[in-house]
Amino acid sequence: MRGNADGLTKRQLLPATTVFRSRELRRNAGPVERVLRAALRQALPDAKFRWQVPMGPYHADFCSHSARLIVEVDDATHAERQAHDEIRTGFLNGEGYRVIRFWNNDVMTNVEGVVAEIARNLPEEMRGNCL
């Protein structure tokens, strides 16, 4: 049986505002998210990364459910919010996901290196020919 005892999946249990927020985040994505999304789709299609994925009270920038891997892209404001990010990462780890983070600057200046590092964190069968 799929979902909980009533047959509802985690997504169906989310408030409607969460799904709308995900769509809004995808529609209003900045250039960094768009660059990384295109690079992940091209280089690592087997990982099937989704973006702006609701995860409890948070949204993961990029998530591969099959690899249990979340990729976060951080800007300068995250340097000031380290305590919040640690709580968030703890929650995501508790859900069974590993979280790796990159700075916006790294994505924009070295997207190939970022994708290679992401590939190193994937199971071998999902890496394609990145490594």
Is 21 domain-assigned?
yes
Closest to 56 measured CA to CA, from 66, 73, 70: 70
Is 4 domain-assigned?
no
> Phi, psi (5° rounding) for residue 61?
-60, -55
CATH number of the domain encompassing residue 20:
3.40.960.10
Is 75 domain-assigned?
yes
Is 3 domain-assigned?
no
- pTM for this model (two decimals): 0.82
Is 84 domain-assigned?
yes
Supply the range of the domain harboring residue 17. Answer: 10-126
Q: What digits encode the pLDDT tens for the residues 53-85?
A: 888 888 899 999 999 999 999 876 655 677 888
Is 98 domain-assigned?
yes
Is 77 domain-assigned?
yes
What is the model's pLDDT at position 84? Answer: 81
Is 69 domain-assigned?
yes
Q: What digits encode the pLDDT tens for the residues 6-31?
A: 665 666 666 667 777 777 877 888 89
Report the domain count for the chain. Answer: 1
Q: How is the chain classified by DSSP, letter by letter?
A: --SSTTS--HHHHS-HHHHHHHHHHHHT--HHHHHHHHHHHHH-GGG--EEEEEETTEEEEEEETTTTEEEEEE-THHHH-HHHHHHHHHHHHHTT-EEEEEEHHHHHH-HHHHHHHHHHTS-GGG-TT--
